[in-house]
Amino acid sequence: MGRRARLKYTIYLLFSVGVTVVVLTYLFSQVHPAEVLRMGMGLRREGLIAFLACSLAMSICRLWRYEILLRVSGFNPPRFSLFLVVLVRNFFSDLLPARLGTAIYVYLVTTRLGVTFSAAASSFAASLLLDILAMAPLVALAVWLLGGAVAGGAAALWAGVLMLAVVTVSAWALLPHALGWAARCMLARSGLRRRAWARGLLMAALGIRRELGRIRTAGIYGRVFVLSLLIRIGKYAGMYFLLWALLAPKGYGFAQLPPAKIFMGLTAAELAASTPVSGVAAIGAYEGAWAMAFQLLGFPVDIAQLSSLAHHAITQLFGYGVGLLAMLLLLLPRFAVASTHAMPAAGPGSE
């Protein structure tokens, strides 16, 4: 790493630490840590169980989607090993900015499950775009249900939903062409063709393009999109039930927690955590956006601030605990697979 790169990394790290420190310092100047602890310890058990059930359902749907995508490329890794990869992927998603930690999936399925890089990268890219696209109908439904409650910003929200769908679909349509263009550029430069790293990039680009083509012709769009919707529903339903578990002792019932309204607040916090500078391990921007969004949604300031800290702490501790356990299991020799290659799916409708 050169001096310039080190300087950029140092500035970014300091800025991330600053975001975390500033937001947490402000929030804890408004609420006492003991209040956060009391809220977390006093949550309703039924809500916690519902949160755990939804989290498990979300991970199972994610596993199922990866299985379908990898099978198209001719790979059929052991189901439990792939499930462990999903849990580790969930754990790493919060550790790096802009959800870059989810790319750990590519590393794990190639090094532990015997999947080729091109198949792993294409299934990762498809899953990422499907996750983004699945948000469009959910946000649209929330805006429609809220109706007059967002009258002032409804037009902007509808425009955002449309833009999200158009950009995501366009990215999916143009990705193979972009990979082909990059490969042609490298082939056109004789100096690059002689370099080992350039040849590696060329082979990777062509391989990913080939696997994306297989996904396109396999007739699986409907299934993987429905699974992507279920993944999103499972995630936000779990977060909703956990919020209810935290606020029920304070007199909040389901009537005071309209799902569409809560979904918009949760989405704001998740969006903040997905930005490049969201704080260390997404701690900071998430709590700040949550507190602000829930205040705008009409919740008392203390409830918005307390719930931002308690809710995120519980989800992080749960994700880290399950993810670390899954990673330790995945590192055991019995879960290492030399190869899971089979014949790739050959036509539409095949898996």
Tens digits of residue pLDDT in 137-164: 999 998 888 875 655 566 777 888 888 8
> Are the beta carbons of 138 and 226 closer than 8 angstroms?
no
Cα separation, 268 vs 282, whole angstroms = 13
What does the mean pLDDT of the chain come to? 86
Cα separation, 167 vs 176, whole angstroms = 15
Closest listed residue to residue 292, CA positions, set 313, 317, 271, 275: 271
> Are the beta carbons of 93 and 102 closer than 8 angstroms?
yes
> Are the beta carbons of 44 and 247 closer than 8 angstroms?
no
Look at residue 321 in the predicted model and tell me its pLDDT: 94
Question: Could you tell me the pLDDT band of residue 344, with boundaries at 50, 70 and 90?
Answer: low
Weakest-pLDDT range from 99-108, 181-190, 227-236, 309-318: 181-190
Look at residue 83 in the predicted model and tell me its pLDDT: 96
Look at residue 69 in the predicted model and tell me its pLDDT: 96
**Relative orientation angle of helices 45-72 and 117-146, to the nearest 10 degrees:** 130
| Residue 284 DSSP one-character state | E
Global confidence as pTM: 0.88
Q: From residue 234, give the alpha-carbon distance in Å to each of 22, 55, 229, 254.
A: 32, 6, 8, 18
Cα separation, 28 vs 21, whole angstroms = 10
Report the percent of the chain where pLDDT is more than 90: 55
Look at residue 48 in the predicted model and tell me its pLDDT: 96
Higher pLDDT, 228 or 148: 228
Backbone angles phi, psi at 2, to 5 degrees: -75, 175
Look at residue 350 in the predicted model and tell me its pLDDT: 39
Q: Which helix (H) or strand (E) holds 141?
A: helix 117-146
Cα separation, 69 vs 19, whole angstroms = 37
Higher pLDDT, 149 or 171: 171
Q: Indicate the length of the chain as a whole number.
A: 351
Other Cβ atoms within 10 Å of 6 Cβ, number: 10
Look at residue 347 in the predicted model and tell me its pLDDT: 44
Handedness of CA 146, 148, 153, 155 (dihedral sign): positive
Find the farthest-apart pair of alpha carbons in the chain and give their distance in angstroms, rounded: 70
Q: What is the DSSP string of 194-244?
A: TSHHHHHHHHHHHHHHHHHHHHHHTT-HHHHHHHHHHHHHHHHHHHHHHHH
Average pLDDT of the segment spanning 162-173? 89
User: Residue ranges per domain, the chain?
Assistant: 53-335
pLDDT digits (tens, 9 = 90+) for 278-321: 777 778 889 999 999 999 888 999 999 999 999 999 999 999 99
> Are the beta carbons of 92 and 251 closer than 8 angstroms?
no
> Are the beta carbons of 79 and 63 closer than 8 angstroms?
yes
pLDDT digits (tens, 9 = 90+) for 19-64: 888 899 989 999 999 999 999 999 999 999 999 999 999 999 999 9
